[in-house]
Amino acid sequence: MKNEKGIFFSVIISSDKSDLWERLWNSLLIKNKIPFEIIFVGPRPPVVKLPEFCTFIQTTVKPAQCWEIASRKAVGEYLLFSPDDVTFSKGFLNKAYDRIIEKNNDKLVYTSIFRKKGRKKLKGEQLISKNYAFPKISFICFYNTKIWRELGGIDSRFVSLKGDVDMQLRFFENGGKLCFIKDCLVTEHDPHNIASLSKMVRDDKATLHSFWIKGPKFSDKRLKDVLPFDDKDILNLSQGPKKIGKKEWV
């Protein structure tokens, strides 16, 4: 997928803590030579002027839909999804680019080292479930934009979390696998409230399992067809399930 601006990476960021955005984009600029764009998407507007490589899409729809909106606006050859409370190690995009060019396989999902500030570093490939022999997956990954769109993007039945995990499994079903990028580190500085996250994880995990669990085991083939988001009113109205606990999106 080529674009007139020569942008290789579209970095898609949820707009939860807009006062942290400058720290995030500055970390991506250090020792970087690869053209990229950042798309912030969600309810919170920026608190400082955005540089020319940044775009903000304001919407109050559910989080899973926010990421899908941004993925449809993206012009980069690869998508990277992340919360806004992280920083990236020096030369992060350069190293990712070199690895992608080296492997030359659009079906791969590229991942890195992740850590919460002050805690031990974690290599990618985290298990999402030990009970059903799920394949190893990771988080804050790079996906080929063309393949992402061919596979239908995020399923509209996800509300907040696990839509990206489902996408990884669909990449794997399509012949892909995880590919680790050496010396790339993502640091989460301001983790979300654990109580609110647990509800989102529980509900969306049940949705994920309904797509991939057959009896007591993981299925290599998705059990239900993808239900993509409709372009109509995608910016204004949440599609599919939109409530977790007492939290409900428009």
Residue 74's CB: how many other CB atoms inside 10 A?
24
Tens digit of each residue's pLDDT (9 = 90 or more) over 222-246 = 999 999 999 999 999 999 999 887 7
Q: Which long-range contacts (CB under 8 A, 24 or more apart) does 224-229 make?
A: 226/151, 226/152, 226/155, 226/170, 227/155, 227/156, 227/157, 228/152, 228/153, 228/155, 228/156, 229/65, 229/68, 229/153, 229/154, 229/156
The per-residue pLDDT for 124 is 53
pLDDT average, residue stretch 10-34:
94
Average pLDDT of the chain, as a whole number: 89
Q: Are strands 9-14 and 36-42 parallel, antiparallel or unpaired?
A: parallel
Where are the chain's structural domains? 9-248
Say which residues have a Cβ less than 8 Å from residue 94's Cβ, sequence separation at least 6: 31, 32, 33, 34
Tens digit of each residue's pLDDT (9 = 90 or more) over 56-99 = 999 999 999 999 999 999 999 999 999 999 999 999 999 999 99
Lowest mean pLDDT among 102-111, 121-130, 171-180, 186-195: 121-130
The per-residue pLDDT for 90 is 96
Whether the Cβ atoms of residue 117 and residue 87 lie closer than 8 Å to each other: no
Q: 189 versus 129: which is more confidently predicted?
A: 189
The per-residue pLDDT for 171 is 97
Tens digit of each residue's pLDDT (9 = 90 or more) over 176-228 = 999 999 889 999 887 655 445 555 567 888 899 999 999 888 999 999 999 99
> Does residue 128 have a pLDDT over 70?
no
The per-residue pLDDT for 194 is 46
Nearest to 190 by CA among 59, 54, 21: 21
Nearest to 12 by CA among 145, 170, 207: 145
Record: fold of 9-248: Spore Coat Polysaccharide Biosynthesis Protein SpsA; Chain A (3.90.550)
The per-residue pLDDT for 243 is 87
- Residues in the chain, overall count: 250
Tell me the CA distances in angstroms from 64 to 173, 176, 249, one per residue in order: 21, 22, 11
